[in-house]
Structure formats: C-alpha cells, structure tokens
Amino acid sequence: MRVLLPLPVLLPLAAAAVSILVGRSRRWQRIVSISTLTAVVGLAVAILVEVDRDGIVATQAGDWGAPLGITLVADRFSAVMLVVASVVLLAVVIYAVGQPGAERNHVGFQSVYLVLAAGVAAAFLTGDLFNLFVAIEMMLTASYVLITLGGRLDQVRAGMTYVVISLVASILFLAALAFTYSATGTVNLADLSGRIAELPDGVQGGLAGLFLVVFGIKAGLFPLYFWLPDSYPTAPSPVTAIFAGLLTKVGVYAIIRTQTLLFPGVLPTWLVMAVAGATMVVGVLGAIAQDDVKRLLSFHIISHIGYMLMGLGLATVAGLAGAVFYTVHHILVKTTLFLTGGLIEHHGGSSRLSRLGDMVRGAPLLAVLFLVPALSLAGIPPMSGFVAKLSLVDAAAEERQWAMVVVSVAVSLLTLFALMKIWMGAFWAPVTEGEDGRPPAPDARGGPRSRWGGPALMVVPTVVLALGTVVLGVLSGPLYDLSTRAATDLVDPEPYVTAVLGDGPTDLADDDGDAGGGGPAQDGPVGGGGPAQDGPAGGGG
C-alpha cells in the first residue's frame, strides 16, 4: 500500500507533461486527462479502504527517514478528502470538455488542470509543513492561469486580486514556517506534534494564530474572505466550480490538520467560535444581497466554511466528525451548484437573476439539478446537509454552546431564503429584463435551446454529482461512522506520530547532524480500526 501513496501526486504531474507533448491533438489531451484522473479515483478509493481497515499508512521518499525526508501519510481524514477531491476533479474536467470556451480555446487547460490536481493530492497526503507549502503553491500557480482564462478585463482585474492575496498568504506561510523551524528545529508534522507542546504558551498561541490566519485566507474565513466573491464568479464555470468546491476546502483541511495535530487546545474556544459565527452570518447576508447566481453562490461558500470551523472549535470527537462530514458534503453540493450555475448561464445567456426566468418549463432538468443540491445545502431532511448540520448542532448542544446553536440554525434558514431567490428568479418567475430591457430572444445563444439545459458532456457530470449528493444522504449512517473514526484519528495523534516516526520523535539537537535521525517509518499501517470515542479532545478553555 505504501507504494500507492505517491501515485495520486506523480500520475497527474506525468500526465501534465504528456499533455504538453500531445498539445497538437485536443482529443489526446482529453484522453490523457480523463484516464489519469479516473486512475487517481481508483487509487484514492484503494487508499481509503486500506487506511480505514488497517490504520494510518506512511512512506518516506527515497528512504530518507523522518523527520528529514519527504513524508507522505494517509489517515482516514486525508484519505476521505482525497477520494472526494479526485471524484470532483474528474467530473469537472468532463464538464469542461463539454462546455464551449475555456477548455476548447486554450491548449494549456488540460496540463494546467492536471498540475492543479497534483497539488490538491499533495496537500492532502503530505506529512510536513514545507511540502504542504509546496503543494499549495503548485495548486495556486495553476489556479492563477485557470482563473484568467479568456483574458477579459474583469477576469484580469479579479485575477490580480486573487494573485495578490494569494501571494500575501504565501509570504505569511513562509514566515510561519521560518518561525516554527526556528523554535523547534523541524517542519515534520508528526515531529512537531511533540515539540510544539514543549514551547512556552505565548509562542504556541502566536504560531497557532499565525497558521489560522494563513489558512483562513485560503479558506475564506471572516474577516479574510473579501477577495473571494469578486474573484471566483469571473472565471469560466468549470474553473469556478473546482475553486469553489475544492480549493477553499484545502484551506479548511490545513486548518483542521494543524490545529488538531500541532495546537490542540491552544486557541481559545470563544475565539474560534466567534470567527465561525461571524463567517456564517457575514457570508449568508452577503448572499442575500446579490442578484447574480455565481456571486450569490460565492458568498454561500464563505457562510458554510463557518460551519466547518464550528466543528473544529467544539474540539470534541462529535464536533470534528460533524466538520469532516460537512466538508465532504459541501464539496459535492457546492461543486454541483456551480456546475448548474454554468448551465443556467449557458441556457439563459446570463447569470443575472433579473435577466433569467421561467426555466422550470424551458429546462426542467436544470430545475431539478439546482433544487436537489440547494435543498441539501439549506439542510432540508433527509438530504446530506441535514445530517451534517444536525450533527454539528447536536455536538454544540452537548458542549452547551447555545449561541452557536442559535446562529447555525438561523443561518440555515437564511441560506434557504437566499437559495430560493435563485429558484424564484431563474426558474419560477417570468423573464423581466433582457440586455436592452426586453426578454432575451430564445436563440440568443446562437441556436435553439435544449430542454436538457446544455450539451450532454456538461449535463451528465452535473447529474452524477447531484446523484452523489443524494447518495451521501442515503448512506449518511455509514459515512458519518467513517467521519467519526476520522475524527478519532484527529483527536488522538499518537498513531499518526508512530506511523511517521516509528519509534517516536527524534531530538535533532542530540543527533549532532546525523542525517539519518529518526527511526524509519513502520512497514505496516498503524492505529487502525479503533472504536469512536466520545468526550472532549483538548479543546481550548
């Protein structure tokens, strides 16, 4: 199994190189991309099955022992994220092939997209902070190209904001890395787990806060979210979908990983809860004020990141299980909504609600494709969003976080209200305004509109992801159990540390430069299959 860990990173990188070599043939580029991402889905599922059955798996590149070598490690949390990410990446690239525009007009789309996929996989599998930085930079470099595909003035302007904010976050990340290494002498996550606990409380708090800011910018937390609603809507629909559904969750993953493994209980619970509540409220109020489908959905990303942070702030197995389940649910639902938003724009000729209408009769399949994930996002039973929100609210009630219970329920109702704006404006109400104040002509897109809402290659991946949100609700019991086991891994770092370091953390100061310091990773998986535990996990006071 250890030999499989590097493949979700190496395969897309190799495929990106092949895609450049066959750049004259768009057909071969597509074959390379789709076949590679299909293989990554299979690898991710195999890793998840193995990790869930036998425990955490780690490997060291080039047999350089941790903490000096490059460590790749998969526990249940990272394996679940890898599976969902690979499925979404595959669905979106098929959608992009079917959509006129980004993929067809740019020879570099497929290769850049594969680099993005490699960066996402590396972020989930890496076992040290420096390579997490490299993975995120790989992902961001690809995103800089994808977000400006098309070269329109508004795209370039929004892309500049995205690039500048991302560079600021990267500089802060580098500073945090330097401070961490200066204080501990290592950047290996497993090694840091023990060394940071030996630092003075003030240093621990400063580093925990700095990493929360760094990854909070990438995740879109309050008050660091301002770049997101302007940047995402201007990109091509498949690019927006993958950014909205996946890239912000890489930030969420990094927050949960670092705060549970390196800084458990360091940040005060009230601070995390305050940021979570403010993120929920500001995001949903911003969504209600919008008249554009993509901008409205972009503000909803911010709002729902708050739910995931709420689960982290509870610092219990139940809270973290809710956060893991919510993250998986949100990746699928939000990607589906943005793909449907692209179909709405394709069919209606605009994403502005004032220029859309009556699609429930003109494109009934689009109405279904919007309504299913929208109800799930709002938390309507028995959809997956209901299970995700109920698990977080129940965990908050157990910890007597009554303010967060009220805020999360109120934001859920406001989410339903905001999504109904899209339903009423795009699907139910008659068309009220065209480009010149009149309803747009039926053939405004250059041909008769399809009742399916768009080309088959755009519709089919959207249907598959919409069905995936339904399956997530139907199988919520076993999937929530898996989330609980993943949360148990997060609150008990010992199996993770043992899987990476073998005999335990190495004191580099005592090794006098011995490059082979640190015991080699164990040959077999560690810490598998333990039963879920209830109770606090070292939450902040």
Q: What is the pLDDT of residues 501-525, one digit of tens each?
A: 876 444 444 444 443 333 444 444 4
pLDDT digits (tens, 9 = 90+) for 359-368: 888 888 999 9
Q: Which residues pair with 74 in a beta bridge?
A: 57
Cβ(232)–Cβ(294) below 8 Å: yes
Mean pLDDT on 251-274: 94
**9 and 3 Cβ atoms separated by less than 8 Å:** no
pLDDT of residue 202: 93
Judged by average pLDDT, the poorest of 63-72, 137-146, 196-205, 519-528 is 519-528
The share of the chain scoring above pLDDT 90, in percent, equals 58
Mean pLDDT (whole number) for 388-410: 94
CA 197/CA 505 separation, integer angstroms? 13
Helix, strand, coil fractions of the chain, as percent rounded to 5: 70, 5, 25
Q: What is the mean pLDDT of residues 323-339?
A: 94
Give the pLDDT of residue 7: 95
Reported confidence tier of residue 484, pLDDT bands at 50, 70, 90: very high
Q: Residue 374 and residue 418: Cα distance in Å, rounded?
A: 10
pLDDT of residue 161: 84
Does residue 279 have a pLDDT over 70?
yes
Q: Is pLDDT of 328 > 70?
A: yes
What is the DSSP secondary-structure string of 438-480? SPPPTTTTSSPPPTTSS-HHHHHHHHHHHHHHHHHHHTHHHHH
In 3-state terms, what secondary structure has residue 219? helix
Q: What local confidence, expressed as pLDDT, does residue 253 receive?
A: 96
- Please determine, for residue 58, whether its predicted confidence score (pLDDT) is greater than 60: yes
Residue 73: strand pairing partners: 58
The average pLDDT across 273-287 equals: 94
188: nearest Cα among 271, 70, 284: 70
Question: pLDDT band for position 397 (50/70/90)?
Answer: very high
C-alpha angle 179-182-187 in degrees, rounded to nearest 5: 80
Of 172-181, 270-279, 445-454, the least confident: 445-454
Distances (CA, A) of 209 to 212, 244, 305, 514: 5, 25, 18, 33
pLDDT at 186 over 80: yes
If pLDDT is split at 50, 70 and 90, which confidence band does 160 have? confident
> How many secondary structure helices (H) and strands (E) does the chain include?
22, 3
pLDDT of amino acid 506: 47
**Residue-level pLDDT at 222:** 87
Q: Which helix (H) or strand (E) holds 154?
A: helix 153-184
pLDDT bracket for residue 355 (50, 70, 90): confident
- What residue type is 18 in one-letter code? V
Give the integer Cα–Cα distance in Å for 192 and 63. 20
- What is the predicted pLDDT for the residue at 505? 47
User: What number of CA atoms fall less than 13 Å from residue 266's CA on the CB side?
Assistant: 25
Q: What is the pLDDT of residue 256?
A: 96
pLDDT of residue 510: 43
User: What is residue 440's predicted lDDT score, i.e. its pLDDT?
Assistant: 52
Total residues belonging to the chain: 541
Per-residue b or e along 119-133, where b marks 16 or more CB atoms closer than 10 Å to that residue's CB: bbbbbbbbbbbbbbb
Task: Write the DSSP symbol of residue 522.
Answer: P
**461-464, long-range: CB within 8 Å, 24+ apart, which pairs?**
461/91, 461/92, 461/94, 461/95, 461/98, 461/339, 462/91, 462/95, 462/336, 462/339, 462/340, 462/343, 462/369, 463/365, 463/369, 464/91
Ranges of beta strands (E only) in 131-262 are: none
CB 173 within 8 A of CB 136: yes
- CB-based contact 351:411 (threshold 8 Å): no
- Greatest mean pLDDT among 19-28, 205-214, 229-238, 520-529: 205-214
**How would residue 153 be classed by pLDDT, with cut points 50, 70 and 90?**
confident
pLDDT tens digits along 422-473: 988 888 888 765 555 555 544 444 444 566 778 888 999 999 999 999 999 8
Task: Give residue 450's pLDDT.
Answer: 65
Q: Return the pLDDT at 233.
A: 79
The terminus-to-terminus CA distance of the chain in angstroms comes to 40
Question: Whole-number mean pLDDT of the chain?
Answer: 85
H-assigned helices in 106-152: 109-125, 129-147
Tell me whether strands 71-74 and 526-527 are parallel, antiparallel or unpaired: unpaired
Q: What is the pLDDT of residues 33-54, one digit of tens each?
A: 999 999 999 999 999 999 999 9
Question: And the tokens for 332?
Answer: 């699928």
| Cα angle 380-381-383, degrees, rounded to a multiple of 5 | 85
Give the long-range contacts of residues 110-113, CB within 8 A, separation 24 or more. Answer: 110/16, 110/19, 110/29, 110/30, 110/32, 110/33, 111/16, 111/17, 111/19, 111/20, 111/23, 111/29, 112/16, 112/142, 112/145, 112/146, 113/33, 113/89, 113/142, 113/146
Q: Which helix (H) or strand (E) holds 229?
A: helix 228-231
Q: What does the alpha-carbon distance between residue 390 and residue 383 come to, in Å, rounded to a whole number?
A: 11
Q: Which residue is it, tokens 């809507």?
A: 233
Q: At what angle do helices 317-348 and 293-314 cross, to 10 degrees?
A: 180
In the three-class reduction of DSSP (H, G, I as helix; E, B as strand; rest coil), residue 353 is classed as helix
Calculate the CA dihedral of residues 141, 144, 146, 149 and round it to 10 degrees: -140
pLDDT value at 406 more than 70: yes
pLDDT for 208: 95
More confident residue, 113 or 154: 113
CA quadruple 356, 360, 361, 366: dihedral, nearest 10: 90
